[in-house]
Amino acid sequence: MENILTLLSFGDEGWGDEIFSGVRVTISLSLATLPFGLLLGFFIALGKKSQERQLRIAADIYTTVFRGLPELLTLFLVYYGIQIGLSELFELMGLSFRVEINAFVAGMIALSLVFSAFCSEVLLSAFKAIPQGQYEASAALGLRPSQTMWFIILPQLIRIALPGLGNLWMILLKDTALVSVIGLADILRQTGIAARVTKEAFLFFGIGCLLFLILAVLSSIVISAIENWARRAEVNR
């Protein structure tokens, strides 16, 4: 027991500092990915419900690609593909300049692409749940399309889509573990290094599991609180 406490302690003798740093990276990556994924998913959903056939086709292709590709493969394509593509582009321009993309940025881009593809489907279903009459009533009142979206549609859209978006957040939180393969020091990578160095694989991978479960429980509490607030707001109206 004393040996375990020493291994998990903070300081030179333990791995507490490294694991805590991994937790911060995991949370930071998740929170940084969320707004980009939501915003991109919103515009993809608008494209899928657009009257323009080309926009609908483009949005359908986007969601089919990034929902169909494994997340790990998408991560590799972004991390290595951007570096190779930009390096070759500069070479064609006669510039000997090698591009290196940050692992955190690559992880954020890749996870945003995947998250937005699934998010667009959730938001599209929420759009369909809003009666068409509300658009017509807003137009009759003289509201511009942007005002209708901001004041009438968006509040309802968020309330309807919250359960589905909550599930996607949980998936995003777990998918952050994939960035360990490109060298980002998240929970999985830090506990993996500790397991290899100390030969205590069960201990440190168990700690990794526990940390992800704690984050999931805390997320569930926050999501439930937001859903309760949204329902109260609906009742008050």
| pLDDT number for residue 2 | 53
| pLDDT number for residue 64 | 95
48 class by beta-carbon count within 10 Å (0-12 exposed, 13-18 middle, 19+ buried):
buried
102-133 exposure pattern, b = at least 16 Cβ within 10 A, e = fewer: ebbebbbbbbbbbbbbbbbbbbbebbeeeeee
Backbone angles phi, psi at 69, to 5 degrees: -75, 140
| pLDDT number for residue 150 | 86
| pLDDT number for residue 86 | 78
Q: Could you list the residue range(s) of the whole structural domain that residue 232 is in?
A: 2-236
Residue 232, pLDDT > 90, answer no
Per-residue model confidence as pLDDT tens digits over 190-209? 999 999 998 888 999 999 99
| pLDDT number for residue 82 | 85
Residue 236, pLDDT > 60, answer no
Is-contact 79 101, C-beta < 8 A?
yes
Local structure of residue 86 (DSSP, 8 states): H
Is-contact 8 15, C-beta < 8 A?
yes
> Cα–chain-centroid distance for residue 3?
37
The position carrying tokens 């939501």 is: 38
> Using CA atoms, how far apart are residues 14 and 34, in angstroms rounded to an integer?
32
The position carrying tokens 């759009």 is: 127
Backbone angles phi, psi at 17, to 5 degrees: -60, -45
- 35 Cβ partners below 8 Å, 6+ apart? none
| pLDDT number for residue 191 | 93
Look up the CATH number of the domain holding residue 35.
1.10.3720.10
Residue 97 tokens, joined? 């300049």
Question: Which amino acid appears at position 54 of this protein?
Answer: Q
Helix (H, G, I), strand (E, B) or coil at 185: coil
| pLDDT number for residue 233 | 54
The position carrying tokens 């507490």 is: 16
- 156 Cβ partners below 8 Å, 6+ apart? 126, 130, 134
> Using CA atoms, how far apart are residues 31 and 115, in angstroms rounded to an integer?
12
Helix (H, G, I), strand (E, B) or coil at 163: helix
> Using CA atoms, how far apart are residues 117 and 55, in angstroms rounded to an integer?
15
Number of domains in the chain: 1
